[in-house]
Amino acid sequence: MEPPSLRTRLLTVLWILGILFPMGFLAAVWKPFGRLFDRAFASGWSHVVMHATLYLVLAFLLAQLLRPAALRPALLVLCLALLTGVAQEALQWLSIQAEVGWAASAFDLLVDLSGALLGLGLARLWLVRRQPRV
């Protein structure tokens, strides 16, 4: 199987940076973005869908890089996604200069991990279908 492309590597790095960027801070200082941000995260379900989608895509991209055919690379994908989630929560706490709350952060991390699990599963299906038949 060929190694991951430079495009996939770059997209993965940009995706992680996008997740880690303190959107709450940007929303507070730039009002037009703040209105859009508030609309996107207005309800609890939209917050859950956004978190799950971010980490589904992250796990899918990481799986393209790590090719998790075995348990160890799959666990690495999940650990990297969870580590990104912890970093994102920490940066969120720092950027808005207020504690969001342990329960809310734990819930977000659970949603992040759920999205990552789904992304890993989809990536495995994608990778298996792309393997050349012998």
pLDDT, average across residues 18-36: 89
- φ and ψ at residue 5, rounded to 5 degrees: -75, 160
Residue-wise over 11-39: b if at least 16 C-beta within 10 A, else e?
bbeebbeebeeebbeebeeeeeeeeebee
pLDDT digits (tens, 9 = 90+) for 73-125: 999 999 999 999 999 998 888 876 666 678 889 999 999 999 999 999 999 89
- Cα 44 to chain centroid distance, Å, stands at 18
The proportion of the chain whose per-residue pLDDT surpasses 90, expressed as a percent, equals 54
Please give the angle made by the CA atoms of 112, 116 and 117, to the nearest 5 degrees.
Answer: 120
Domain ranges of the chain: 6-130
Residues 6+ apart with CB under 8 A from 98: none
pTM for the model stands at 0.85
Statement: residue 72 has pLDDT above 80: yes
